[in-house]
Chain A
Amino acid sequence: MMSTSGLLERRAVVRALLAIRGDLLVISGLGAPSWDITAAGDCAQNMPLWGGMGGAAMMGLGLALAQPARKVLVITGDGEMLMGLGGLATIAVQQPPNLAVVVLDNEHYGETGGQETATRHGVDLAAMARGAGIADARVVRDEAGVLALRDAIHAAAAPLFAVVKIDSANLQLVLPPREGAYLQARFREAVLGPAAHHQS
Chain B
Amino acid sequence: MDRAALEMRPDAAAEWPDHIYESLKTHNITQVALVPDAGHARLIRRCLADNEMRVITLTTEEEGVALLGGSWLGGAKGILLMQSSGVGNCINMLSLAILHRTPLPMLVTMRGDFAEFNPAQVPMGQATQTVLEAMGTLVQRADLPEDVAATVDSTIRLAFNTYRPTATLLGQRLIGAKTFGKD
Chain A contact residues, CB within 8 Å of chain B = 27, 47, 49-56, 58-67, 70, 84, 86-87, 89-90, 93-94, 180-181, 183-185, 187-188, 191-192, 196, 199-200
Cβ of A50: which chain B residues have Cβ within 8 Å of it? 99
In the complex the two chains form, is B73's CB within 8 Å of A47's CB? yes
A interface: dominant SS: helix
- 9 CB-based A-B contacts, threshold 8 Å: A27-B73, A55-B93, A59-B66, A67-B75, A86-B58, A93-B57, A184-B100, A191-B74, A196-B75
8 Å CB interface, B123-162 against A: 160
Taking A93-B57, A192-B75, A196-B75 as contacts, is the C-beta distance between A62 and B70 under 8 angstroms?
yes
Shortest beta-carbon distance from B165 to chain A in Å: 13
A52, A63, A185, A196: the one within 8 Å of B96 (CB): A52
Hey, which chain B residues are within 8 Å of A59, CB to CB? 66-67, 69-70, 73, 96
Residue numbers of B with Cβ under 8 A of A are 28, 31, 54, 56-60, 62-78, 92-93, 95-96, 99-102, 160, 163
B99 touches A63 (CB 8 A): no
Contact of B74 among A58, A62, A86 (CB under 8 A): A62
Chain B residues lying within 8 Å of A188, measured Cβ to Cβ, are 72-73, 75
Closest residue of A by beta carbon distance from B68? A62
Distance between B23 CB and nearest chain A CB, rounded to angstroms:
15
**Inter-chain contact total with CB atoms closer than 8 Å:** 123
Which B residues touch A70, using CB under 8 A? 74
Which chain A residue shows the least CB distance to B102?
A184
Could you tell me if A60 and B70 are in contact, using CB atoms closer than 8 angstroms? yes
Query: When chains A and B are docked, how far (Å) is the Cα of A70 from the Cα of B74?
Result: 10
Query: In the complex, A58 Cα to B69 Cα: how many Å?
Result: 9
B10 to chain A, nearest CB (A): 27
A66 and B31 contact, CB distance less than 8 A: yes
Of listed B68, B100, B101, residue having the most chain A CB within 10 A: B100
The reply to whether A51 and B99 form a contact with Cβ atoms under 8 Å apart is: yes
B54 contacts across to A, CB distance below 8 A: 65
Q: Which of A51, A53, A61, A183 contacts B70 (CB 8 A)?
A: A61
| CB-CB nearest in chain A for B101 | A181
Q: Which chain A residue lies CB-closest to B95?
A: A51
Q: Tell me whether B63 and A63 are in contact (CB under 8 A).
A: no
Chain A proximity of B155: nearest CB distance (Å): 17
**Which A residues touch B72, using CB under 8 A?**
62, 66, 184, 188
Q: Is the CB of A89 within 8 A of B59?
A: yes
User: Most B CB atoms within 10 A — which of A61, A62, A84, A86?
Assistant: A62
Task: List B contacts of A84 (CB < 8 A).
Answer: 63, 66
Residues of A within 8 A of B28 (CB): 200
Q: Which residue of B lies closest to A30 (CB)?
A: B96
Q: What residues of B have a CB within 8 angstroms of the CB of A191 in the complex?
A: 73-75
Kindly provide the distance from the CB of A53 to the nearest chain B CB, expressed in whole angstroms: 7
| B77 (CB) vs chain A CBs: closest residue | A199
A62:B59 contact, CB within 8 angstroms: no
User: Are the C-beta atoms of A90 and B96 separated by less than 8 Å?
Assistant: no
A199 to chain B, nearest CB (A): 7
A180 engages B74 (CB within 8 Å): no
Question: B160 — which chain A residues lie within 8 A by C-beta?
Answer: 199
Inter-subunit contact B75/A62 (CB<8 Å) = no
